Every structure is written in C-alpha cells, then in structure tokens.
Amino acid sequence: MATKHPTRRNILKIGGGITLVAAGGLLWRAEDRGVFTHGEGPAYSAWGMWNAPEYKGTPFALVAAAVLASNPHNTQPWYFRVTDTSVSVEADRARHLGSMDPYLREMHIGLGCAIENMMLAAPVNGFAATPELQTGSLAEDASRSGRSLAAIIHLAKTDPASEPSPLHDAIARRHTDRGPYDHDRNLPDGFTGGLASLANGMPDVHLRFIADGDARERIDSAIVNATTAIVADDDMLHDSNVWFRNGPDDIEKHKSGITLDTAGMPPGILAAAKMLPPLSAETSHRAWLNATQDVHVPSAAAMGVIAVADRHDIKSSLEAGRLWQRIHLTAALAGVAMQPLNQPVEMADRDKQLGRAPDWEKRISAFSDEGFEPTFCFRMGMPTRQAPASPRRPVDEVSETA
C-alpha cells in the first residue's frame, strides 16, 4: 500500500489549527490575567461611589472620601466609627508593613491623608468639622494588633458650602504615578511656591523642595541606595511583598495592595508581565530597584521632603499625612505627577529598630532644617501617561455605625 504523505494544504490546515488553539489559549490566559481590563469590578467601585447620592449629607460621605486617600503600600490601615456628630478614625494596626514600617509611622501618615479627605468632604456635605488628633509616641507603642484611636472628627450640621474647595474635586483624580516623567516639560510657573503655601499655618511641619545641585545629587543617591538596602534585607523584602497582588482574583479578594497596573510599566511590558506566572519577591523587587534607579529618580523634575520635629510623634505623623494629601491633590488639579519615594526614611527606622548605628538618620538629616526630621520624601514632574487607580475596600467594609 502506498504511504500517504501529508499535502502542503493539510500541513497548513494542521498548523493553522494549532496556531488557533494556541492563540485561543493565550487569549483566554490574557483575559484571565486582566490584560485587557483595569479598574473594573468591586475592588474599584469605591472610586465611583465616593460622591454617591446615598452618602450625600451623611457622615458616611466623609468615609467614602477617606478611603480614596494616599496610604502606604495601599494597606488602607483604617477603620471608621460613625455617629451623627462624629467620625472616629482608628488605626487598624494589623494592616501593618512589618519591618518596612516598624513604628507604624507611615501607617499614621496614611491616616492623616484620610483625615484630610474627610475635612475636604465635610463642608460639601453640610458639616462643620473639627479634627481632634491624638497625641503620643509611636516609639513607645508600636503594637501590631487591634485598633487604636488616631483622631475624632467632630461634626456640626451647617449649610452645605456653596463654593467647595477645588481640592475636593480632585479626590478621585489623584493617583500615584510610578511611570517616567517628561524631563523636557517644566513644572507650571509658581507651582512649588503654591505648594509651599499649603504648609502655612502648620508650624510643626516643614516642606522643602530639592530640584538641583549637590542637595539633589545627595537625595537622589540616598533614594537609590536605600532601595538597594531594602532589596538586600530579607525581612523587608518579605514584609513588602505580602502586599503585592498577583492578578485579578487576588485583587478582588483583598481590594488592597500594590498591583502590576500601578507599577508604571510601559503598556507592552505590562501586558507581558501580566501573562507570566507570579514573579518571586526577589524578581519584582529587583525590577522596583531598577525602576527607581533608571526611571523614578532621573526623570523627576524635583524632589520634595516633609519634615517634623519628631517623626515618631502620632500627631506630627497625622499632620504630615494631611499635608501630603493636600500636596498630591493640588498636583492632580495642576496636571503634575507625583510619587512618594520614602525609602531613605524607611531605612532610618529600620536602623533604629535593629539598634544599628544611625547611618541613615544622619543621611536623611541633610534634607531638613535643624531641629526637624524628614518623615516623607516624594518626587514630582510632568506626566507621560495617565496613572491608573489602585484597588480600595469600600465604605461598608471599613466602617460601622457606633
């Protein structure tokens, strides 16, 4: 019997079939890994709900604004107890960053950011709000379980403000931008001067900008060196990685944490990264170090530093957070991109936690005036693309009527 050889047409048919199956598999995987979507589903609903009619004129409108605030590693370390005349803001200490934030200092900065959003939402919703910030030292009580009171926002009914602060409109437009900034475009005229005035009336909080010269070289290298030190510290690597989310299912489950979408990668690389199996902590943090060194630091138009008299003081941390939130909202309104780069201060706290020589403390002290300690560093510049939203736990998951 003559042997049947596959014809050229048959080979093409079989090849085409395999290609189709492979393409179908790839498409399925791409769909499953969220390559074609971002910012949809319950993990992102808080961004659309924050000004919803059902909250309007109630204290829950303040909570809906609070949950959209900047916060460390998107841990959302907050809980809100609501009455008709107050909202208590509590630190949810179990949502800590471990050795990345051993004194819960960044946690309290994040709570300050949430408080600032509440203060902006209060007048629009017919409340005169008075914040009562807690005092005390984080260096003495850095316990990492349970909840502790950070502030009470006292509320009195009043007519809704006819002219709300423009910053209120920016609440849902503010996103951390980890992409490259456009070095060829200058910051808008008078922009940093305007930011400096945001710290007026806050004698305990200092704001400094570092755009060029030796000081710029020093802060740039401190940020890169501190990132290198974090990546080399197994505990910090692990504690940071706990909050990295891998794919849509993980994001839906937690509605918190750092996602690939917000990492600032170019679109093609982002799609490829989403298709790959989960990256190890080492690989993803090495990519973070490379981005810090090659993109974040060199493309920034200027660095900013918020300093306080004692960075482990609870009230000062809350106030630093309030200022950072105002700064970032102001930037969102002006079309300026921003990203915290707080690695040097994280390393100073890590040295203190381990009882090591205060090398990082000395290094960061160069970025603030005598008698003040830096607690928060950030970069700014003109954006090259739109920064995406990060997930949020909605109001009903983080609050209750007291």
Ligand X SMILES: Cc1cc2nc3c(=O)[nH]c(=O)nc-3n(C[C@H](O)[C@H](O)[C@H](O)COP(=O)(O)O)c2cc1C
Among 131, 340, 344, 381, binds ligand X (CB under 6 A): 340
Q: Which residues in the 310-329 window bind ligand X by CB under 6 A?
A: none
User: What are residue 127's phi and psi, to 5 degrees?
Assistant: -125, 135
In the bound state with ligand X, the residue whose beta carbon lies nearer, of 30 and 250, is: 250
3 state SS of 208: strand
| Distances, alpha carbon 266 to alpha carbons 262, 291, 293, in Å | 11, 11, 16
Of 33, 93, 96, 175, the residue at the interface with ligand X (CB under 6 A) is 175
Is 94 or 275 the residue whose CB approaches ligand X more closely? 94
Cα separation of 284 and 352, whole Å? Answer: 26
Residue nearest to ligand X (CB): 74
Single residue of 178, 206, 326, 350 touching ligand X by CB under 6 A: 178
To the nearest whole angstrom, how small is the minimum distance from the Cβ of residue 88 to ligand X?
Answer: 20
296: left (phi over 0), alpha (psi -120 to 50) or beta: alpha
Q: For the segment 53-72, give every residue that binds ligand X (CB under 6 A).
A: 70-72
| 363 contact partners, CB below 8 Å, separation of at least 6 | 218, 222, 344, 348
Q: Which of 142, 205, 318, 341 binds ligand X (CB under 6 A)?
A: 341
Instruction: Please select the residue that binds ligand X; options are 59, 77, 110, 381, rule is CB under 6 A.
Output: 110
Rounded distance between C-alpha atoms, residue 390 and residue 181, angstroms: 19
Query: In this structure, are residues 80 and 141 in contact, taking their beta carbons and an 8 Å threshold?
Result: no
Count of other CB atoms within 10 angstroms of residue 377: 25
- One of 43, 50, 86, 106 touching ligand X (CB under 6 A): 106
The neighbour count for residue 262, using CB atoms within 10 Å, is 21
Rule CB under 6 A: say whether 220 interacts with ligand X.
no
Q: Which two tokens stand for residue 234?
A: 């197994």
Query: Would you say 57 and 71 are in contact if contact means Cβ atoms under 8 Å apart?
Result: no
What is the footprint of ligand X within residues 356-385 (CB under 6 A)? 376
Q: Shortest approach of ligand X to residue 96 CB, angstroms? A: 12
Q: Which is nearer to ligand X, 33 or 255 (CB)?
A: 255
The reply to whether 390 sits near ligand X by the rule CB under 6 A is yes
- From the CB of 325, what's the least distance to ligand X, in Å? 8
Nearer Cβ to ligand X (72/155): 72
Give the nearest distance from C-beta 13 to ligand X in angstroms.
49
Contact of 360 with 374, CB cutoff 8 Å: no
**Alpha helices (runs of H) in 232-342, residue ranges in sequence order:** 234-241, 247-254, 267-275, 281-291, 314-334
Nearer of residues 38 and 73 to ligand X, judged by Cβ: 73
DSSP 8-state code for residue 92: E
User: Does the protein bind ligand X through residue 73 (CB under 6 A)?
Assistant: yes
Interface with ligand X, residue 108, by CB under 6 A: no
| Rounded Cα gap, residues 21 and 43, in angstroms | 32
Q: Is 256 in the site for ligand X (CB under 6 A)?
A: no
Give contact residues for ligand X (rule: CB under 6 A): 70-74, 106, 109-110, 113, 175-176, 178, 258, 339-343, 376, 390
